[in-house]
Homo-oligomer: A and B are copies of this chain.
C-alpha cells in the first residue's frame, strides 16, 4: 500500500494513537487502513466412500489436485461461499455442509474453513479452473500431486478421522513455508 484509497495522498506506515502496531495511515484525511487475514472457504464433497478432487487448470500449481476452495466474498455466508466455490470449480452441487477444519496459515494471513459435505448428485464437469474432476477412494488419493500443503493436511485429518469414525471440529495452525504456493487472489 502506497496511497490512501480514500483521498489519494501517500500513506505512512506508523503507529496510530491508542494502538500498538504499525498501520498505513493517511496524514491528509486521517484514515487508518487496517489489513486483516482473509478467509478461504472450501469443501470435501463426498459421494459414497469417495471424495471429489479438482485438477487445477490455473496457476499456481497448475496440473496438481486440490479441493474446491476460494476466498469468501462480501455479502455471503461461509456455507454459501463453499457452495459457490464448489459450483465454480466443479459444476457440482453440495448439500449437508458441516464445518470441519479451520486451518490457520499465519505467515500468509489466510484462514481456510473447510466443510465436509455430500454431492447432491454424482455430477460434475470441467470448468475454467479445473481440467479434470474425479472421485477418489482413500487408496487412490494422489498424495504426490496435491497442490497445497493445507489441502494435504486437510485430507490427512479427514481420512484419519473417518477411520476413527468421528469428525470433531478442528482448528490448527498449519505450518507452511513463506515461499510455498498458496491459493491466488480470487
A residues adjacent to B (C-beta < 8 A): 1-11, 18, 21, 24, 32-39, 71-79, 99, 102, 104, 106-107, 109, 111, 113, 128, 168-169, 171, 173, 185-186
Contact = CB atoms under 8 A, between A and B. Distances in A.
B34 A71 contact: yes
Copies in the complex: 2
Contacts of A128: 18
Given A36-B72, A74-B109, 16 more contacts: A1-B5, A2-B7, A3-B4, A3-B8, A4-B5, A34-B185, A34-B186, A36-B38, A36-B39, A36-B71, A36-B186, A37-B39, A37-B74, A39-B111, A77-B104, A78-B111
- DSSP majority for the A interface? loop
A114 to B, nearest CB: 12
Nearest to A4: B3
